[in-house]
Amino acid sequence: MSAAAQPGFKARAAAELSNAALKVAIERTTGNAERKRAAAVAAFPEFDAARERGRAIKDHVIAHLDHYLEMFERNATAAGAKVHWASDDAEARAIVTRICLDADARLVTRAKSMLGEEIGLPHALADAGIERVETDLAEHIIQLAGERPSHIVWPAMHRTREQVADLFKAGHHPPPAADDPGTMVQSARRELRAKFLGADVGISGANFLVADTGATCTVTNEGNAELTTTPPRIHIVTAGIEKIVPSTAHAFALLRLLVRSATGGELTQYTTFHCGPKRPGDADGPEEMHIVLVDNGRTRMLGDEFREMLRCIRCGACMNHCVVYRQIGGHAYGGTYPGPMGAVLTPVLDGLAASRDLPHACTMNGRCAEVCPVGIPIPTLLRAWRRRSWRAGLENGVPRLAIGVWAMAARRPRLYRLASRVGVRALRLFGRRGWIRSLPLAGGWTAYRDLPRPAGRTFMEQYRANQAAKGARR
Ligand code: SF4
């Protein structure tokens, strides 16, 4: 489907709102994540101090990004890896496919990486005629379903167990003997095992790039990253340049925040540092290691008001706590990154004109900023996008007219008070039995919710009346 023919955000969100199975799937996963995170934070009294430290580490590396990236390149090269620089998604795709084609690769295994999605790697590999096998269990599910991730930590969280059972029955050979989780996991393991051992190239992402050793760090709970990166002859890492940290100790300081915020655990089952390819005497490991460092808009963010977004460690806590995400799920957002962090990042990656609805898909309740382990003020950044959208003339029709009228009145106190008095009294005319069920020019609101009938007096009138009553009582 061409971009022009794609349904917009509002149409996608409306479709997801009526998807009952999606609600069940989201609530099971995000509800669980919310409870586990709360317990993990409560059991870690130093969480606030750790958060401040994490924020300071990220701010420091962002301020000295060139220094640490050069240090990383020097040390990774000294360890035997080859470092490539990609200024955008097209260049990153081209580098990865070129390495695969030069190696005559027919089968590529891939460990979960949102950066890979961001640069469009799955399509690029398919276009190059290379078989791609996703090895993360959730990514395996969405590969069978022909879908994109709907969450950055649980890519298949929009699928219920019953739906996954159907996918495995159709896509596994032989199909699983039963649809309990244990049997289904065994079936996926059997399907993937031969692929792990037969792959020519393994592609992974990186949670951290360690500058003073040149190592890349991945964290998983399934061990699939290790099986993706060790048996094949070539290992390719794709990573955003903001993943850099000065040292292993800094990586662990951030890991303590990442895992608690993502899954409520203390550490993931597997935390692996890859430092160069196999050395003489090593029992196993790839013969070549390539690291593709991707900019794709990140240096642009360094110099503008979205700089703080570069602190993001991709834990997913903001989406687990977002009232909008929990209603519509991740696919409705349309970009690579869903939820609150996606609403900030997608306009950077895809342009504001193509994603101008996303910064508005927010109630500004501030939960995302409260739970963010590196203190990113997401509502402030969303407001910055709204401001830009307004100034660029992207808001049009009734919203632009209404906000323009409101702004004009808000600068004239007398007019504002008069308009409020008239407005409150006029609104009462639409109310029946205490509720307003439909309003002219505000059908988008009243289509989904009833508004309480106003009290008949403005806030200022009520305030003055209360003050007068208090004075009379004294
Ligand atoms: S914005 Fe914060 S909460 Fe959201 S994914 Fe990034 S680090 Fe996690």
Task: For 76-104, give the DSSP string.
Answer: HHHTT-EEEEESSHHHHHHHHHHHHHHTT
Instruction: Choose which residue among 314, 336, 344, 381 to substitute to test ligand 1 binding: the one with the highest number of ligand atoms within 8 A of its C-beta.
Output: 314
Q: What number does the ligand 1 atom closest to the CA of 316 have?
A: 5
pLDDT of residue 40: 96
Burial class of 193 by CB neighbour count within 10 A (0 to 12, 13 to 18, 19+): exposed
What Cα–Cα distance (Å) separates residue 378 from each residue in 101, 204, 339? 41, 28, 11
What is the predicted pLDDT for the residue at 374?
A: 98
Residue 425: band (very low, low, confident or very high) from pLDDT cuts 50, 70, 90: confident
The class level of CATH for 46-299 reads alpha beta
> What distance in angstroms lies between residue 131's CA and the mean position of ligand 1's atoms?
32
**Which pLDDT score is estimated for 441?**
75
- One-letter identity of residue 64: H
Nearest alpha carbon, ligand 1 atom 7: 312
Q: Is the model's pLDDT at 451 over the cut of 90?
A: no
Q: Which residue has the higher pLDDT, 1 or 368?
A: 368
Please give the pLDDT value at position 256: 95
What does the pLDDT read at residue 320?
96
d(CA 8, CA 441) in angstroms, rounded, equals 21
Over 80: is that where the pLDDT of 445 sits? Answer: no
The 10s digit of each residue's pLDDT in 193-239 is 989 999 999 999 999 999 999 999 999 989 999 999 999 999 999 99
Q: Which ligand 1 atom sits closest to the C-alpha of 339?
A: 4
pLDDT at 127 over 80: yes
Q: Both tokens of residue 35?
A: 């409870």
Q: Are the C-beta atoms of 107 and 200 separated by less than 8 Å?
A: yes
User: If you measure from the C-alpha of residue 224 to the centroid of ligand 1, how many angstroms do you get, rounded to a whole number?
Assistant: 24
Give the Å distance between the CA of 313 and the centre of ligand 1.
Answer: 6
How many angstroms does the Cα of residue 274 sit away from the middle of ligand 1? Answer: 25
pLDDT band at 395 (very low <50, low <70, confident <90, very high): confident
Of ligand 1's atoms, which has the minimum distance to the CA of residue 319? 4
**One-character DSSP codes across 267-295:** S-SEEEEE-SSPPTT-SS--SEEEEEEE-
Distance CA 357, CA 343 (A): 9
Q: How far is the CA of 341 from the centre of ligand 1 (A)?
A: 6
Q: Rounded to the nearest whole angstrom, what is the distance from the C-alpha of residue 62 to the centroid of ligand 1?
A: 16
List ligand 1's pocket residues with C-beta within 6 A.
261, 312-318, 341, 372-374, 376
Q: Which of 320, 324, 376 to mutate to test the pocket of ligand 1 (most atoms within 8 A of CB)?
A: 376
Percent of the chain surpassing pLDDT 70 = 99
**Average of pLDDT values for 4-19?**
84
- The rounded percent of the chain whose pLDDT value lies above 90 is 80
As a whole number, mean pLDDT of residues 72-99 equals 98
**Using CA atoms, how far apart are residues 310 and 378, in angstroms rounded to an integer?**
12
Q: How far away, in angstroms, is 315 Cα from ligand 1 center?
A: 5
Q: Which atom of ligand 1 is nearest to the CA of 311?
A: 7
Segment 294-304, tens digit of pLDDT: 999 999 999 99
pLDDT of residue 5: 52
* Rounded distance from Cα 349 to ligand 1 centre (Å): 17
Contact call for residues 324 and 362 (beta carbons, < 8 A): yes
Per-residue pLDDT reduced to its tens digit, 259-295: 999 999 988 899 999 999 999 999 999 999 999 999 9
**Residue boundaries of the structural domains of the chain:** 46-299, 398-473
pLDDT interval class at 349 (50, 70, 90): very high
E strand or H helix that includes residue 391: helix 378-391
Nearest CA to ligand 1 atom 3: 372
| pLDDT for res 2 | 43
Q: Which H helix or E strand runs over 452? A: strand 451-452
Ligand 1 atom at minimum distance from 368 CA: 3
In this prediction, residue 3 has a pLDDT band, given cuts at 50, 70 and 90, of: very low
Q: Of ligand 1's atoms, which has the minimum distance to the CA of residue 340?
A: 4
Q: Which residue has the higher pLDDT, 460 or 3?
A: 460
Of 202, 73, 237, nearest in space to 132 by CA? 202
Mean pLDDT of all residues belonging to the chain: 93
Which residue's CA is the nearest one to ligand 1's atom 2?
A: 372
Minimal-distance CA residue to ligand 1 atom 4: 318
Give the atom of ligand 1 at the shortest distance from the alpha carbon of 261. Answer: 8
Q: Which of 315, 319, 336, 378 to mutate to test the pocket of ligand 1 (most atoms within 8 A of CB)?
A: 315
Token readout for 340 is 């609150």
